[in-house]
Structure 1
């Protein structure tokens, strides 16, 4: 059972670290859009926009590998949560919630951001007859790119949370094993002391 749990943990940690690596490689693009105010800010928006378009135009094998990695992580959670212990329910349940939150951010913000940026349809709203469209009714190019960059940051924080929970579970299990060994040792000493008295 311990080997199965270890392998399932590997199936969770591997894809999580893989995603963090992808997000880290996007961090130089996101950093200048979110946290700095350089003099030529538009240049950084163009760089991020070109980066997003390049990623979206990548061969289909790239997105397939990414989706296989997502599925691998889910298989790891299903394996660990099959006939779960109390520790699995707490740590793996919370990890699964964070993982699914990350998948949701990926689908709703990042994939949608890829499509919007590649199509270049920021705020190109065609009003219906009789509709009044104000500038607040659509998202501008800068705001779209900021949302995309912020989604990457949120996703990275969520994935770090998954790793922290998995590390917490590992620590709790090791601590429990050490306590059990110590209790067994004390029980054995008491038995020996009782035999000597007889």
Structure 2
């Protein structure tokens, strides 16, 4: 299998991991919406959000490892595409890797810490509502970053498609011009061939006439 055959696999891993992460964040949106964007005087929205994140914290470890495995696959996709990057697209790939690493850092430092705080009930120097909102705001940042990954990959796909389209049009035009030139040269070549044939025929006739004259002179 050639390296060019693995590049689409890397792209699929990146997009798949990004969409999976966005779907995970979307599952938290109904709770974060009422704490971060809507003013809650009663405090019930924070209680519901806390209960939701407690369910996430108390899930079996393999549930969390599924998310971690998907993140790892996304990074593997980045490294596949960065193994032999094209000169005109390598900055797209470096940008994609940087954004995924940035989103992963936010997840590990803010979300994982917040989930552990929900579990143990210790929020450090802030209260519970502030900690919940930090988690919600961190996910908003992650959405912006992950959408940026999709934009970079989509922009790269469009750039490669447009470049291939321009090259195909250029080579088609070159082939058309080459065909026109060969068609224009064909009559000239035929005329030259006919002229050469006539000259050769005339020379051959002259030689034959000379030989005939010599034979006649010898007989006399």
- Equivalent positions of 1:160-171 (< 5 A) are 160-171=147-158
Distance 2:20 2:147 in 1: 12
Unaligned stretches of 5+ residues in structure 1 = 124-137
Task: Report which of the two structures shows the higher radius of gyration computed on alpha carbons.
Answer: 2
Distance 2:51 2:88 in 1: 45
Distance 1:144 1:35 in 2: 15
Residues 81-130 of structure 1 show CA distances to partners (whole Å, capped at 9, x for unaligned) of 0011124311111111111000000011000111112111124xxxxxxx
Q: List structure 1 segments (4+ residues) > 4 angstroms apart after TM superposition.
A: none
Distance 2:27 2:139 in 1: 11
Distance 1:60 1:88 in 2: 38
**Residue of 124, 132, 155 corresponding to 2:142:** 155
- What residue is the counterpart of 1:135 in the other structure? none
Q: Does 1:177 align with 2:146?
A: no
TM-score normalized with structure 2 length: 0.80
Whichever structure has more helix as a proportion of its residues is: 2
- What residue is the counterpart of 1:74 in the other structure? 75
Unaligned stretches of 5+ residues in structure 2 = 186-220
Q: Over aligned residue pairs, what C-alpha RMSD do you find? A: 1.1
- What residue is the counterpart of 1:130 in the other structure? none
- What residue is the counterpart of 1:106 in the other structure? 107
Say whether the 8 Å CA contact 1:87–1:169 is kept in structure 2: no
Distance 2:57 2:163 in 1: 47
Q: Which has the higher contact order (CA 8 A, sep 6+)?
A: 1
Distance 1:87 1:109 in 2: 35
Say whether the 8 Å CA contact 1:80–1:88 is kept in structure 2: no
Distance 1:57 1:103 in 2: 21
- Report deviation, 1:140: 1.6
TM-score normalized with structure 1 length: 0.89
- What residue is the counterpart of 1:3 in the other structure? 5
- Report deviation, 1:39: 4.0
Q: Does 1:22 align with 2:24?
A: yes
- Report deviation, 1:3: 2.9
Distance 1:43 1:86 in 2: 54
